[in-house]
Amino acid sequence: MADDVELYGTASCLYTAELREQLLWEGRTFAEYDVEADQAALKRMLELTSGRRTVPVLVERGRVAQIGWQGRGCVVSPPRGEAP
């Protein structure tokens, strides 16, 4: 069981990497989604965050527990042709 924890982020976001390392250091299991590579994951993240495009997003038991990492985050651009 993945502890009902999900991490939404991007491969290029330093803060996603830092939060991932923190979760691993704590020994937590989690499902990770790259919202730049997975449009379905991006859609789920936007629904969970009411449209916020900042990553990383940590979800615990279906609820957003944290957006960003230590007050910082990366912004995910909308796909080409989509309004921001």
CATH of residue 47's domain is 3.40.30.10
Give me the pLDDT at residue 82, please. Answer: 63
| Contact criterion met (CB below 8 Å) for 18 and 26 | no
Residue whose C-alpha is closest to residue 74's, from 53, 58, 59: 53
| Contact criterion met (CB below 8 Å) for 68 and 56 | yes
What integer is the mean pLDDT of 14-36?
97
Residue 30 within a domain: yes
Give me the pLDDT at residue 44, please. Answer: 97
Give me the pLDDT at residue 53, please. Answer: 95
Model confidence band, residue 78 (pLDDT cutoffs 50, 70, 90)? confident
- Rounded Cα distance, 69 and 40, in Å: 23
Residue 50 within a domain: yes
Residue 81 within a domain: no
Count up the domains in the chain and report the number.
Answer: 1
Q: What is the mean pLDDT of the chain?
A: 92
- Rounded Cα distance, 36 and 9, in Å: 8
Residue 61 within a domain: yes
Domain that holds residue 39: 5-75
| Contact criterion met (CB below 8 Å) for 2 and 29 | yes
Residue 59 within a domain: yes
Residue 33 within a domain: yes
